[in-house]
């Protein structure tokens, strides 16, 4: 996809090649060759906004960061996707995230396009006042390009309810409008119940359907050992839902290291997960808890490690929930050797292409329950943006749904994501007898064809 006159964008190129290769390896282009042109069109953003963000730190010194919004595709609705505040943010990462978001949003069945944005600003180590001043400056420019019927950002890494609140306040002041322009808002002023939990809950709901299908309804999360990476919202709530469903959580991690259960018995408890959540609010590391009871006796802390490389022992389910490319090819082989049967990404593009190739080769060479079954983030972690879409609907109608109603809708959306990917794979990437269908192929094709058809109706390609 790289043009000679464009800079290298490795993350975006990886996301594009992952989609394109699954389309090429299916029968889609044989049955509908005109879709090749649609792939070319959908791979170029409709608009990219880049701007400077000038703000003042607590010492009165002027600081400068870069702000971005990639408005990738609006065929199905307003651009929808998070804002990421992290030093690693660049255009390649945001294009990869926005590209994935197009098809993830399509799989939810809601009327949302795809986009992504953020800044190379690092909230860690900043005071509340510094973060507020940055958010005000950031939104002063971004507000010219977004709106409830144009582009509705949400939070992502480094953007919590606090940052969303600061940005919403500035948008309201400048535009003189109270509207559902951001999701992830506070519960008392337009936010949806279940939104913080949605991505973590959603990935677990999705895997429930994987387990049920692969075992003909004979198994569930009960008794499963589940490895989880990360310790943010996604990992925390995935862990809590796994425990609620009878599984054992054997690992969590952060950028500095992994905290892993000793031995083959036991699990993180809800209280231990809540303790980790509390230090993460203060932007501290898991290592600060690792040496204290009960963590010091129950878990081992491995610095500069992820949970996947022969660390977690026997494992049934893996939920990478930290960041992109966190499962390598070697780690994919280690997961298979550890007996893992289900892997679903709570993070975006959590597995490298080498890891995906390992998972898919094992699936194709194995019969049913003997295989590892891989689910890509664009399907498995769609719960977060799904509830963001439900928040938009509540804001538009000026209503507030109950926890039970939002959770019920989330469960149905995740079930539909699974079934859509499954049936599409059976149609366009038909597996051999006794082999599980490719959820990565099915999800890619299902999301792509929905967007491509809408673009064709709009005259964006023909």
Q: Binding-site residues for substrate, please? A: 80, 101, 104, 155, 388
DSSP string, 347-371: STT-B-HHHHHHHHHHHHHS-GGGS
What are the beta bridge partners of residue 254? Answer: 257
**How do the domains of the chain map onto residue ranges?**
40-178+435-461, 197-375
Task: Write out the E strands in 45-200.
Answer: 47-56, 62-73, 79-85, 114-119, 151-155
Q: Does residue 263 or residue 37 have the better pLDDT?
A: 37
Q: Which of 152, 145, 147 is nearest to 80 (CA)?
A: 152
Give the tens place of pLDDT for each residue, 321-379. 998 899 999 999 999 999 999 999 999 889 999 999 999 999 999 987 799 999 999 99
Tens digit of each residue's pLDDT (9 = 90 or more) over 225-235: 999 999 999 99
CATH architecture assignment, domain 197-375: 3-Layer(aba) Sandwich (3.40)
Residues with catalytic annotation? Answer: 116
Q: Which two tokens stand for residue 280?
A: 């993460």
Q: Mean pLDDT for the chain?
A: 95
| Cα separation, 249 vs 226, whole angstroms | 5
pLDDT value at 101 more than 80: yes
Contact 214, 342 (CB under 8 A): yes
Give 40-178+435-461's CATH code, choosing from 3.40.50.10860, 3.20.20.80, 3.40.50.1220, 3.20.10.10. Answer: 3.40.50.10860
pLDDT at 309 exceeding the cut of 90: no
pLDDT of residue 311: 72
pLDDT for 312 equals 72
Res 264: pLDDT: 86
Closest CA to 388 of 79, 41, 24, 178: 79
Under the banding of pLDDT at 50, 70 and 90, the label for residue 4 is: low
Place of tokens 């969590």: 252
What would the mean pLDDT of 113-123 be, rounded to a whole number? 97
Whether 40-178+435-461 shares its CATH topology with 197-375 is answered yes
What pLDDT, in 10s, does the model give residues 180-209?
999 999 999 999 999 999 999 999 999 999
The whole-angstrom separation of Cα 461 and Cα 73 is 13
CA distance 379 to 233: 18
Angstrom distance (rounded) from CA 199 to CA 230: 13
Confidence tier at 7 by pLDDT (50, 70, 90):
confident
Q: What is the pLDDT of residue 310?
A: 65
What pLDDT, on a 0 to 100 scale, did the predictor assign at position 430?
94
Packed helices 383-397 and 198-214: angle between N→C axes, nearest 10 degrees: 130
Place of tokens 């919004």: 69
150-178 pLDDT, tens digit each? 999 999 989 999 999 999 999 999 999 99
Round to whole Å and give the CA distance between 391 and 190.
Answer: 8
Residue 441: pLDDT band with limits 50, 70, 90: very high
DSSP, residue by residue, 178-194:
----SSS--GGGTPPTT
* Binding-site residue positions: 80, 101, 104, 155, 199, 233, 388
% of residues, the chain, pLDDT over 70:
99
* Residue 292 exposed, middle or buried by CB count within 10 Å (0-12, 13-18, 19+): exposed
d(CA 438, CA 431): 8
């Amino acid at each position: 996809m790289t043009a000679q006159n464009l800079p290298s964008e490795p993350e975006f190129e990886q996301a594009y090649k992952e989609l394109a290769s699954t389309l090429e390896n299916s029968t889609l282009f044989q049955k509908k060759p005109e879709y090749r042109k649609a792939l070319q069109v959908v791979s170029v953003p409709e608009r990219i906004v880049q701007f400077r963000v000038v703000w003042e730190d607590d010492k009165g010194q002027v600081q400068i960061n870069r702000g971005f919004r990639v408005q990738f595709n609006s065929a199905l609705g307003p651009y929808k996707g998070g804002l990421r505040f992290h030093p690693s943010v660049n255009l390649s990462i945001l294009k990869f995230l926005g590209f994935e978001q197009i098809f993830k949003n399509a799989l939810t069945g809601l009327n949302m396009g795809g986009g992504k944005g953020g800044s190379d600003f690092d909230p860690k180590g900043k005071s509340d006042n510094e973060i507020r001043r940055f958010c005000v400056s950031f939104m002063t420019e971004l507000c010219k390009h977004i709106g409830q019927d144009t582009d509705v950002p949400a939070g992502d890494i480094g953007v919590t309810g606090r940052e969303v609140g600061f940005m919403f306040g500035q948008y309201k002041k400048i535009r003189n409008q109270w509207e559902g322009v951001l999701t992830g808002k506070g519960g008392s002023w337009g936010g949806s119940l279940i939104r913080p939990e949605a991505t973590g809950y959603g990935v677990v709901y999705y895997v429930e359907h994987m387990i049920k299908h692969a075992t003909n309804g004979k198994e569930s999360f009960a008794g499963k050992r589940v490895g989880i990476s990360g310790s943010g919202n996604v990992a925390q709530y995935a862990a809590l839902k796994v425990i609620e469903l009878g599984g054992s959580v054997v690992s969590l991690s952060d950028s500095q290291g992994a905290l892993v259960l000793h031995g083959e018995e036991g699990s993180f408890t809800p209280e231990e997960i809540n303790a980790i959540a509390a230090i993460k609010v203060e932007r501290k590391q898991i290592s600060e808890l690792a040496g204290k009871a009960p963590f010091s006796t129950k878990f081992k802390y491995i610095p500069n490690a992820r949970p996947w490389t022969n660390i977690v022992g026997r494992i049934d389910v893996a939920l990478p929930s930290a960041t992109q490319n966190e499962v390598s090819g070697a780690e994919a082989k280690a997961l298979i050797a550890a007996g893992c049967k289900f892997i679903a990404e709570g993070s975006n593009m959590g597995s490298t292409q080498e890891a995906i190739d390992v998972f898919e080769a094992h699936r194709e060479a194995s019969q049913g329950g003997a295989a590892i079954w891989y689910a890509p983030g664009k399907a498995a972690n769609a719960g977060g943006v799904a509830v963001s879409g439900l928040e938009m609907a509540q804001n538009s109608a000026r209503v507030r749904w109950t926890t039970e109603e939002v959770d019920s809708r989330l469960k149905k959306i995740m079930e539909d994501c699974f079934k859509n990917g499954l049936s599409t794979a059976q149609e366009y990437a038909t597996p051999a007898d006794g082999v599980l269908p490719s959820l990565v192929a099915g999800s890619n094709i299902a999301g792509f064809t929905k967007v491509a058809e809408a673009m064709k109706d709009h005259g964006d390609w023909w």
